[in-house]
Amino acid sequence: DAKTTQPTSMDCAEGRAANLPCNHSTISGNEYVYWYRQIHSQGPQYIIHGLKNNETNEMASLIITEDRKSSTLILPHATLRDTAVYYCIVRPTVPSGAGSYQLTFGKGTKLSVIP
Amino acid sequence: DTEVTQTPKHLVMGMTNKKSLKCEQHMGHRAMYWYKQKAKKPPELMFVYSYEKLSINESVPSRFSPECPNSSLLNLHLHALQPEDSALYLCASSQLGTSHNEQFFGPGTRLTVL
């Protein structure tokens, strides 16, 4: 089962920051938080991941609380192309299946960017 | 090349047909995955291949038969499927032996079983 809880849906005005929350209260010490998104009719796409510290890349920023029980994905200037389902995933520490890490997708948040 | 390709894009088959889905990547990844995604649901893992060997089978019915003929190719053979098997089938690949496990997904094959 997925170890994360996300709001079912969110709206964001185009050009504004989109802040997507995720609760992962049972996360253990060495588990990473990964974010993927899935644009309609496409495969999921990796966005960002983190362990303890905040992370930023060209797509987004990830803010992880000090107790690591929740995180927020920030899209700084949302565009219409950011409309997608966003999945927050807690990735196991121990690899399964000869070195691969299993991803268990939860229900995700449907983000709609509105013109 | 950071692309995972899947063919065909769409497939319609009857319950008595045999068909195959194909997935290919040229990123040198040694882990490849099959996921099944029903409408409005998240992807669910079916199989994982590591170094061309089946390492995870998530209790998938035997009418789905995966095959990994080499490190770049992954097939999913379909036989005697049911209408409830209609779904988007996603392939993904990733590196092995690193702590960062970004999975690269293909666009999927949309399967309809009549």
Confidence of residue A94 (pLDDT cuts 50, 70, 90): confident
pLDDT of residue A95: 81
On the 0-12 / 13-18 / 19+ scale of CB atoms within 10 A, B92 is buried
pLDDT of residue A16: 97
> Phi and psi of B71, rounded to 5°?
-70, -10
* C-beta atoms of A102 and B4 within 8 A: no
Closest CA to A104 of A51, A27, A42: A27
- Are A101 and B29 spatial neighbours (Cβ–Cβ below 8 Å)? no
Predicted pLDDT at B43: 97
pLDDT at B109: 98
Q: Per-residue pLDDT for chain B (114 aa), expressed as one digit of tens each?
A: 679 999 999 999 999 999 999 999 999 999 999 999 999 999 999 999 999 999 988 899 999 999 999 999 999 999 999 999 999 999 999 998 787 879 999 999 999 999
Cis, peptide link before residue B8, omega less than 30° from 0: yes
Strand partners, B71: none
Over residues A59-81, the pLDDT tens digits come to 999 999 999 999 999 999 999 99
In angstroms, rounded to a whole number, what is the distance separating the alpha carbons of residues A60 and B98?
Answer: 23
Interface test with B, best of A100, A101, A109 (most B CBs within 10 A): A100
Nearest residue, CB atoms, A99 vs list B90, B96, B103: B96
Give A29's pLDDT tier (boundaries 50, 70, 90). confident
Choose among B46, B43, B57, B49: nearest CA to B88.
B43
User: CA-CA distance, A10 to A35, in Å (whole number)?
Assistant: 16
Model confidence band, residue A30 (pLDDT cutoffs 50, 70, 90): confident
Check whether A1 has a pLDDT greater than 70: no
Residue of A nearest to B108 (CA): A43
Mark yes or no for CB contact B55/A87 under 8 Å. Answer: no
User: Residue A99: is its pLDDT beyond 70?
Assistant: yes
Q: Can you tell me the mean pLDDT for A13-33? A: 95
A105, B44: Cβ pair inside 8 Å?
yes
Sheet (strand A55-56) strand order = A18-23, A70-75, A61-64, A55-56
Tally Cβ neighbours within 10 Å of residue B8. 13
Question: CB count, 10 Å around CB of A59?
Answer: 15
Å between B8 CA and nearest CA of chain A: 14
